[in-house]
């Protein structure tokens, strides 16, 4: 690995990689300044190429629920590596992972592995269209489901950060098949089905949004979505790539007691390595090739290294049951931020659930995309850099969720609360 400092690495990267990064939000365009490069990570801490240690509230955008470089996960990868990196044939890890996913998520009767969350949502949409024989889908403004063409319309995540919620390169004909509705608005959903009778193949949503910052569903909203989709014979797809296994063993659907038709997963089931999965009712999943007419494939699907890491991660979740502890840690950070904001007289909202939360610098209660966008992004940028100077790394965008791990307990959470409070006091 190069021994160069972050500024030199970024200069080299900009000559060869668009924007100098391989995922847009990493470029710090939303908060200003230049990104640092990470040399290593352990527990709750990143070590930069410049030798700085930072308490990390990004956690690889979700996977590191046990902290970085956990010894059990590292050992599982090492053991799998000794047997080979990829086979192009079925392997035992695939069966074990499928059994674990089905045991954690009762709504999933059969599951197909793939290599990313984007691939999972893209494949779930194709499957829903093939199953129903319909073309149109409904998504909600601010929900990010990866960068496939049908779903990159009014998206969240980096698309919001960079002001391009509708990406160039997405054909208008594709966009016309996607109906975009406001989140937490049951009347809009009713109207969309009334306006498109017999045409909606699926409704896809993040049941709790993580890609415009964290937004929780209003009481009864998800239940209404389930009732309408069941009535209209449309497939309900929960994108739990972020929330799956992180907010509870069975994701948001367990918390809300809802059974979707299909669920998209990722992040945690790879233990930090690239992975995705989608699964649900056997009747629908059996439409996939080789049993049915809906084609989906991938050379690296079920990669043994990724699944070995994910299996170790899920078994740790079973053993440790960290959810109550993670909720306590999240509340500590949110409460510290809110107390500092009240003292300073700064408007702040801090929605969260368990180990996912956000800070929005706005007077509005955040419940959808427009209220999230009312947050003062410039003020967040100043807050971000004050925290970074104090040794705490936050998502480099006002419109992304924060993540905690069980490794944040003790000194890390104490220091983080101090830094967050001080940063707000200095605004």
Domain(s) of CATH 3.40.640.10: residues in the chain: 71-319
In whole angstroms, give the CA distance from residue 320 to residue 310.
Answer: 15
State the pLDDT confidence band at 177, using cuts at 50, 70 and 90. Answer: confident
Which residue has 């109550």 as its token pair?
A: 324
pLDDT at 237: 98
Nearest CA-CA partner of 395 in 33, 90, 25, 105:
25
Q: Is residue 267 annotated as a catalytic residue, yes or no?
A: yes
Could you report the per-residue pLDDT of 323-363, keeping only the tens digit for each? 999 999 999 999 999 999 999 999 999 999 999 999 999 99
pLDDT at 158: 46
pLDDT at 339: 98
Domain 6-65+322-425, CATH number (from 3.50.50.60, 3.90.1150.10, 3.30.365.10, 3.40.50.1820): 3.90.1150.10
From the candidates 56, 185, 239, 368, which is the catalytic residue? Answer: 239
pLDDT at residue 53 greater than cutoff 60: yes
Portion of the chain with pLDDT greater than 70, in percent: 95
- Check residues 248 and 2 and name the one with the higher pLDDT: 248
Domain(s) of CATH 3.90.1150.10: residues in the chain: 6-65+322-425
pLDDT at residue 242 greater than cutoff 50: yes
pLDDT at residue 155 greater than cutoff 90: no
From the candidates 110, 185, 267, 368, which is the catalytic residue? Answer: 267
- Virtual CA dihedral for 158, 159, 164, 167, nearest 10 degrees? 130
Q: Is residue 286 annotated as a catalytic residue, yes or no?
A: no
Instruction: Tell me the DSSP string of 317-367.
Output: HHHH--HHHHHHHHHHHHHHHHHHHHHHT---B--EETTEE--B-SSSPP-
Region 297-320: what's the mean pLDDT? Answer: 96
Maximum Cα–Cα distance for the chain, whole Å?
Answer: 62
Could you report the per-residue pLDDT of 374-419, keeping only the tens digit for each? 999 999 999 999 999 999 999 999 999 999 999 999 999 999 999 9
In whole angstroms, give the CA distance from residue 346 to residue 206.
Answer: 29
pLDDT at residue 157 greater than cutoff 50: no
From the candidates 93, 144, 323, 399, which is the catalytic residue? Answer: 144
Region 95-122: what's the mean pLDDT? Answer: 97
Q: Do the Cβ atoms of 143 and 206 come closer than 8 Å?
A: yes
Could you report the per-residue pLDDT of 67-78, keeping only the tens digit for each? 999 999 999 999
So what's the architecture of 71-319 in CATH? 3-Layer(aba) Sandwich (3.40)
């Amino acid at each position: 690995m190069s021994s160069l400092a972050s500024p030199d690495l970024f200069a080299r990267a900009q000559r060869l990689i668009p924007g100098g990064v391989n995922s847009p939000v990493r470029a710090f365009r939303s908060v200003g300044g230049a990104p640092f490069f990470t040399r290593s990570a352990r527990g709750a801490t990143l070590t930069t190429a410049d030798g700085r240690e930072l308490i990390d509230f990004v956690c690889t955008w979700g996977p590191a629920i046990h902290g970085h470089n956990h010894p059990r996960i590292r050992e599982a990868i090492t053991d799998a590596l000794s047997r080979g990196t990829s086979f192009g044939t079925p392997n035992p890890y695939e069966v074990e992972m499928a059994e674990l996913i089905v045991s954690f998520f009762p709504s999933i009767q059969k599951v197909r592995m793939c290599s990313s969350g984007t691939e999972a949502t893209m494949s779930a949409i194709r499957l829903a269209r093939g199953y129903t024989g319909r073309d149109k889908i409904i998504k909600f403004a601010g929900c990010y489901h990866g960068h496939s063409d049908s779903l990159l319309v009014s998206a969240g995540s980096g698309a919001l950060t960079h002001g391009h919620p509708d990406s160039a390169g997405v054909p208008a004909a594709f966009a016309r098949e996607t109906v975009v509705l406001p989140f937490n608005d049951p009347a809009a959903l009713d109207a969309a089905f009334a306006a498109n009778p017999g045409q909606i193949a699926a409704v896809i949503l993040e049941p709790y949004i993580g890609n415009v910052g964290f937004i929780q569903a209003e009481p009864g909203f998800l239940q209404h979505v389930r009732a309408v989709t069941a009535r209209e014979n449309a497939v309900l797809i929960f994108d739990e790539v972020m929330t799956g296994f992180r907010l509870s063993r069975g994701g948001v659907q367990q918390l809300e007691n809802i059974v979707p038709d299909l669920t998209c997963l990722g992040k945690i089931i790879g233990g930090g390595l690239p992975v995705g999965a989608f699964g649900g009712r056997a009747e629908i999943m059996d439409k996939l090739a080789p049993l049915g007419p809906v084609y989906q494939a991938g050379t690296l699907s079920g990669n043994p290294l990724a699944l070995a890491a994910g299996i170790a991660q899920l078994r740790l979740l079973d053993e440790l049951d960290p959810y109550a502890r993670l909720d306590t840690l999240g509340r500590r950070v949110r409460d510290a931020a809110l107390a500092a904001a009240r003292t300073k007289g700064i408007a702040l909202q801090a929605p969260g659930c368990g180990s996912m939360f956000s800070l929005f610098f706005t007077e509005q209660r955040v419940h959808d995309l427009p209220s999230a966008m009312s947050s003062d992004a410039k003020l967040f940028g100043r807050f971000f850099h004050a925290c970074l100077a104090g040794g705490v790394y936050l998502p480099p965008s006002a419109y992304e969720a924060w993540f905690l791990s069980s490794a944040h307990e003790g000194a890390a959470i104490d220091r983080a609360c101090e830094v967050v409070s001080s940063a707000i006091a200095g605004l």
